[in-house]
Amino acid sequence: MIRFFNFYLSKGILLLLALESLLLLLAIPFGVDLRFQGSPGSPPPDVVWTNALLFLGVGLAVMSAFGLYRRDFDEGLGSMLFRVAASFLLILAGMAALYYVFPRVYLGRGALGAACIAGLGAVLLVRATMFRWADLDILKHRMLVLGTGTRAAKVMDLLRAADSRRRMHMVGFLPLQGLHHFVDHSLILAEQAPLPEVVDKYQIDEIVIAVRERRGGGLPVNALLECKLKGVHIIELSSFFERERGQVQIESLNASWMVLSEGFQQGLLRDVVKRLFDLVASLTLLILAVPIMVLAAIVIALESGFPILYRQERVGLGGKIFTIFKFRSMVQNAEKDGTPQWAQAGDARVTWVGGVIRKLRIDELPQVFNVFRGDMSFVGPRPERSFFVDQLLEQVPYYAARHSIKPGITGWAQVRYPYGASLEDAIEKLQYDLYYVKNHTFFLDLLILSQTAQVVLFGKGAR
């Protein structure tokens, strides 16, 4: 894994991105050569390479929106190849739209078609090859976990994910103390040798520390230091989950780790850049979405009358209360008894039109006005109602930390976890929110926007 702007990127994804970027860049020159074969009608080099750069930019944007560069993509080879094919249809449409706006760079249907076919074939070949090679043990790094308790069991749960299995080989768990084991007993190493010898014997690349009690000799510090000096990577459980799942685990979290670890930083420059980005992104979204918003308003009024917009108090930056705007997706007076309720899967209060606009996230579009007012950011933790916030503050440690930055229309928790409708869901989403609060950068905001497009396209997490 490589840390880039406070975000961990898989080496495999970076290699895939580099290969496909090269293929997309060369697709246009290849298509031009195939179409014109050096004839006098061939477009000049500046037009060819301008198209190549546009094709690269549109291609990466569309493929990212289709979720093709997500580490945790686990829907199988067939689904991946389908998404690649669908993305190239959208790339073709995007290039045609650019030709309409900038006719001077028009390349020709034949050359563009040949480039799309060549690019599609090359990307499909690369994807199929890498998918086939992904499970080879020689490409994985070998990992040892210190401890066999409940913390170590969480590592085992994580390694059951397809993405983790492709990148890591679990050698086993090494018990240090305690008689109760919460991991698969077949993976417990019955080794009595010193830790450095165990590391050499099993050719360990990384050691994960999953021991709760570390005082009184509970952790072999000198042995770990010796392993580190040999080049073995040592990582603490909180940092391991931050790297692998993009979340800050509450169970293994303590105030000292939050104080001493990198991140959780604020600053004037960061605030100014984020505010400018919010205004530009919101204005762009508003311009593009006006026809959709008008249509949504009409169908809502036709189905269930007025009001079209739904106003609700939410908790924002520093615990301040503000009014959020959404298209109404439920029947009128959905909470007749006045008691706030979590939205459930298949909620009977949701209208037919409401179900559609929720699935496509159209109901969130009026929140661009909250962004203009400064109540919200474009990207950030989703704002909750004060009724639920008061409950969560009492039951969930560090919940108030998510109010240290502005809430957002979309966020890291929204693209990483389905819609939450319980205390357990709120805790899980908080762990993603804490990751964003700790590591939020302009790069991470762009990544979230890219993955939000996938949520809209494939309707993940909507209720």
Q: What's the pLDDT score for residue 316?
A: 92
Q: Which amino acid is at 274?
A: K
Is residue 460 left, alpha or beta, with left meaning phi > 0 and alpha meaning psi from -120 to 50? beta
Q: What's the pLDDT score for residue 322?
A: 94
Contact 237, 208 (CB under 8 A): yes
Q: What's the pLDDT score for residue 107?
A: 84
Q: What's the pLDDT score for residue 463?
A: 44
Q: What's the pLDDT score for residue 57?
A: 92
pLDDT tens digit sequence for 50-105: 999 999 999 998 888 887 887 666 666 777 888 888 899 999 999 998 988 888 88
Q: How many other CB atoms sit within 10 Å of the CB of residue 377? A: 27
Q: What's the pLDDT score for residue 227?
A: 92
- Which residue matches tokens 């040999």? 230
Question: Strand 206-209 vs strand 141-146: parallel, antiparallel, or unpaired?
Answer: parallel
Q: What's the pLDDT score for residue 429?
A: 87
- Rounded to whole angstroms, how far apart are CA atoms 461 and 441? 24
Q: What's the pLDDT score for residue 390?
A: 87
DSSP state of 251: T
Can you list the residues of the chain whose pLDDT is less than 50? 461-463
Sign for the CA dihedral angle at 313, 316, 322, 323 comes to negative
- pTM comes to 0.77
Q: Could you tell me the residue ranges of all domains in the chain?
A: 2-133, 137-245, 268-458
Q: What's the pLDDT score for residue 119?
A: 92
Q: To which CATH superfamily is domain 137-245 assigned?
A: NAD(P)-binding Rossmann-like Domain (3.40.50.720)
What is the number of residues in the chain? 463
Contact 409, 451 (CB under 8 A): no
Contact 13, 127 (CB under 8 A): no
Contact 8, 71 (CB under 8 A): no
Using CA atoms, how far residue 5 sits from 26, 55, 236, 243, 380, in Å, is: 28, 26, 20, 13, 17
- Which residue matches tokens 């480039």? 115
Q: What's the pLDDT score for residue 462?
A: 46
- Rounded to whole angstroms, how far apart are CA atoms 350 and 9? 39
pLDDT tens digit sequence for 27-36: 999 998 888 8
- Rounded to whole angstroms, how far apart are CA atoms 270 and 379? 13
Q: What's the pLDDT score for residue 363?
A: 87
